[in-house]
């Protein structure tokens, strides 16, 4: 959720920490802070708002130093104000700590520490950590041991970094449930919640496991567990992200760049995975569990947000192509249900970041109960990637815009490949398989064709952007697309939108319709077309305005609706993955016309690492 970045080395820490924070800003951005040290007293600055506001308040001359920790916050406990911003500090102002996550038992701990004389200055859950470490240091422990002892008392999730004026050559970091990655440079060492924060400096990384406590020194580090004194070994890995992938490259927003990357990200999602000569797909990541998958009876797709809508699309696909009974669950609700698992159950987790706390909790529960857990994630090395029994990477490159676009299409297409692979061992014929592969191969060209006509969507957005409410409707494969279109609009433009199965409309939402309440109808010429037209007529009969996303060449639709955006013709099953593109553009342009902060919408964060 929030972002942590730390630096210890030979260069000035301040500019590197600020650069890292800017890279992480998409993770949470209501306030930020930095502490820098160089033997002298630690210097601290915190600020509400963006990283640029923090930067403007810092005098770089005063903040010279080659060690530091920094944080961008997504508030869970206490308002986004300066006192609640991190780093938090001990009573003697020698210890400084940043935290990502939630300390669930902070209230009893706070009461206990206050009774022992500790003074608290914030409303956060985090602040107990720094006072616990302080108490342990006072009893004679070094920083690493003091952190270990403190974390043993904590219930909840954390990624933390601690700076101690008494141990100037050291930064201690630890994690449980929130990501934290060490970057190893030349005589310098970094740590961050996401490698994008330091990838310009080093690509050599160590992914910490839960309950690891790492002591960082210039050019050196050691790791112990929260529980024990014994050192643990973690592999050094090389990450494959270029610094250029983190730039906007001429686009006004990352979101627009990412919408435009989709012809490429679709290619990356399927590269080496299509076998037209056999009418099937190949997914190396799930080969080791293929036998178990083939004998599975039930599939539960778990995910949140946009991935949940991708999951709903996936359900139609798995049901159409395989014999699996499929359901889709919101990860945050999964644990409250009494789903029965056995060795014939498969759980498929969808997550861009691979760190979504709700999804992670759901797969841990499923594993405990004996289900086979698969993941479709974008970030290599992420928690879900490591904890799922097997899975497939999206290879979409970093997705920075908070509103997911390219990862929606990537994860959807990978589900098609999975269902195809399995279906071919069941009832799906060679020709049916081949038709799907051909349609997938044509997707990049079709998406490019729509992007080349994006101005048409801008015109439509100009006409409708002042509306305060929108309805999005679709049927079958395109019902989840209607839901996703409504979510995109809400997320980035703050315009109220409801996604509905078109057939449900007359059971309630049609009461809302009048001339000021437009409808976006996803109405390709597939088996649902006639019924969709009837639903559109029902809206028109009540003076509602209708924008249609329709199949190329469908002239009749013009007579029924107010505006049309045409999408190329393809297989019914693949159509929604084209139909979603104009809806992404519509949300983007509407938000831009409203002057919204598109890449960082209020109250939202990219990778939701708290439950």
CB of 355 to ligand GLU, least distance (A): 12
For residues 529 and 572, what is the distance between their CA atoms, to the nearest angstrom? 11
CB of 97 to ligand GLU, least distance (A): 11
State which residue, 126 or 202, has the beta carbon closest to ligand GLU.
Answer: 126
DSSP classification of residue 229:
S
State which residue, 410 or 609, has the beta carbon closest to ligand GLU.
Answer: 609
| CB contact at 8 A, 51 and 72 | yes
Per the rule left: phi > 0, alpha: psi between -120 and 50, beta: everything else, 177 is: left
Which residue shows structure tokens 């700076």?
163
Q: Which of 538, 560, 540 is nearest to 550 (CA)?
A: 560
Phi, psi of 428 (to 5 degrees): -75, 130
Other residues' Cβ atoms within 10 Å of the Cβ of residue 507: 10
DSSP classification of residue 378:
S
Cross-sheet strand order for the sheet of 3-8? 40-48, 31-38, 67-73, 3-8, 189-192, 181-184, 204-207, 237-238
| CB contact at 8 A, 517 and 486 | no
Which residue shows structure tokens 């759980």?
347
Which residue shows structure tokens 């310098």?
188
State which residue, 3 or 285, has the beta carbon closest to ligand GLU.
Answer: 3
State which residue, 78 or 168, has the beta carbon closest to ligand GLU.
Answer: 78
State which residue, 71 or 475, has the beta carbon closest to ligand GLU.
Answer: 71
State which residue, 108 or 553, has the beta carbon closest to ligand GLU.
Answer: 108
Q: Which of 22, 50, 203, 606 is catalytic?
A: 606
| CB contact at 8 A, 161 and 98 | yes
* Residue 91 annotated as catalytic: no
Q: Which residues of the chain form contacts with ligand GLU (CB under 6 A)?
A: 1-2, 28, 73-78, 84, 99-102, 124-126
Q: Which of 415, 428, 236 is nearest to 322 (CA)?
A: 428
DSSP classification of residue 119:
P
Query: Which residues share a beta bridge with 132?
Result: none
Which residues have C-beta within 8 Å of that of residue 195, sequence separation ≥ 6? 181, 183, 205, 239, 241, 381
**81-86 long-range contacts, CB within 8 A, separation 24+:** 81/31, 81/48, 82/31, 82/46, 82/47, 82/48, 83/121, 83/122, 83/123, 84/31, 84/122, 84/123, 84/124, 85/31, 85/32, 85/33, 85/46, 85/47, 85/48, 86/2, 86/33, 86/46, 86/124, 86/126
For residues 356 and 237, what is the distance between their CA atoms, to the nearest angstrom? 22
DSSP classification of residue 573:
T
For residues 460 and 454, what is the distance between their CA atoms, to the nearest angstrom? 10
Whole-angstrom CA distances from 117 to 109, 134, 135 are 13, 12, 10
Which residue shows structure tokens 């760190």?
355
State which residue, 102 or 402, has the beta carbon closest to ligand GLU.
Answer: 102
Query: Which residues share a beta bridge with 351?
Result: 377
The number of helix segments (H) and strand segments (E) in the chain equals 19, 26
CB of 102 to ligand GLU, least distance (A): 5
Residue nearest to ligand GLU (CB): 2
Question: Which secondary-structure segment (H or E) carries 329?
Answer: strand 325-330
For residues 210 and 215, what is the distance between their CA atoms, to the nearest angstrom? 15
Active site residues: 2, 606
């Amino acid at each position: 959720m929030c972002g942590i970045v730390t630096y210890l080395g030979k260069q000035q820490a301040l500019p590197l920490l600020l650069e890292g924070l800017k890279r992480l800003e998409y993770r949470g951005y209501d306030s930020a802070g930095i502490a820098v040290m160089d033997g002298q007293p630690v210097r601290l600055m915190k600020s509400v708002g963006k990283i640029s506001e923090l930067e403007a308040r810092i005098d770089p001359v005063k903040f010279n130093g080659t060690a530091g920790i920094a944080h961008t916050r997504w508030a869970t406990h206490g308002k986004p104000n300066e006192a609640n911003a991190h780093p938090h500090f001990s009573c003697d102002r020698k210890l400084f700590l940043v935290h990502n996550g939630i300390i669930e038992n902070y209230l009893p701990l706070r009461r206990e520490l206050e009774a022992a004389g500790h003074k608290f200055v914030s409303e956060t859950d985090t602040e107990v950590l720094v006072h616990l470490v302080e108490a342990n240091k006072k009893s004679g422990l070094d920083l690493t041991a003091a952190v270990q002892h403190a974390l043993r008392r904590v219930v909840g999730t954390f990624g933390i970094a601690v700076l101690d004026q008494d141990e100037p050559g050291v930064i201690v970091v630890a994690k449980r449930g929130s990501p934290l990655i060490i970057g190893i440079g030349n005589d310098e060492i970094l740590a961050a919640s996401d490698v994008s924060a330091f990838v310009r400096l080093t690509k050599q990384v160590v992914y910490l496991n839960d309950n690891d406590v790492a002591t960082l020194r210039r050019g050196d580090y050691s790791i112990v567990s929260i529980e024990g004194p014994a050192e643990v070994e973690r592999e050094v890995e090389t990450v494959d992200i270029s610094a250029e992938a983190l730039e906007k490259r001429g686009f006004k927003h990352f979101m627009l760049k990412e919408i435009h990357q989709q012809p490429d990200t679709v290619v990356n999602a399927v590269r080496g995975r299509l076998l037209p000569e056999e009418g099937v797909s190949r997914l190396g990541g799930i080969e080791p569990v293929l036998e178990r998958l083939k004998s599975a009876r039930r599939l539960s797709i778990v995910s949140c947000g946009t991935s949940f809508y991708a999951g709903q699309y996936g359900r139609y696909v798995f049901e159409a192509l395989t014999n699996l009974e499929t359901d889709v669950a919101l990860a945050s609700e999964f644990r409250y249900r009494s789903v029965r698992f056995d060795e014939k159950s498969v759980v498929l987790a969808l997550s861009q970041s691979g760190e979504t706390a709700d999804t992670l909790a759901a797969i841990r529960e499923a594993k405990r109960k004996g289900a086979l857990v698969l993941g479709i994630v974008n970030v290599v090395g992420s928690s879900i990637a490591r904890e799922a029994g097997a899975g497939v990477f999206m290879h979409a490159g970093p997705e920075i815009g908070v509103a997911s676009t390219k990862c929606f299409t990537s994860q959807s297409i990978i589900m098609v490949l999975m269902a195809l692979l399995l279906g071919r061992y069941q009832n799906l014929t060679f020709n049916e398989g081949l038709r799907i592969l051909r349609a997938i191969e044509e997707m990049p060209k079709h998406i490019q064709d729509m992007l080349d006509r994006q101005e048409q969507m801008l015109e439509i957005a100009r006409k409708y952007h002042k509306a305060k409410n929108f309805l999005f409707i679709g049927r079958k494969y395109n019902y989840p697309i209607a839901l996703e279109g409504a979510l995109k609009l809400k997320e980035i433009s703050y315009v109220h939108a409801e996604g509905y199965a078109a057939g449900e409309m007359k059971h309630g939402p049609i009461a809302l319709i009048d001339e000021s309440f437009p409808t976006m109808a996803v109405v390709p010429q597939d088996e649902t077309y006639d019924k969709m037209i009837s639903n559109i007529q029902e809206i028109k009969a009540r003076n509602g305005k209708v924008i249609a996303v329709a199949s190329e060449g469908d002239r009749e639709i013009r007579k029924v609706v107010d505006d049309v955006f045409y999408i190329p013709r393809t297989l019914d099953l693949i159509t929604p993955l084209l139909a979603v593109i104009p809806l992404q553009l519509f949300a983007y342009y509407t938000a831009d016309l409203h002057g919204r902060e598109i890449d960082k919408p209020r109250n939202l964060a990219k990778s939701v690492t708290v439950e």
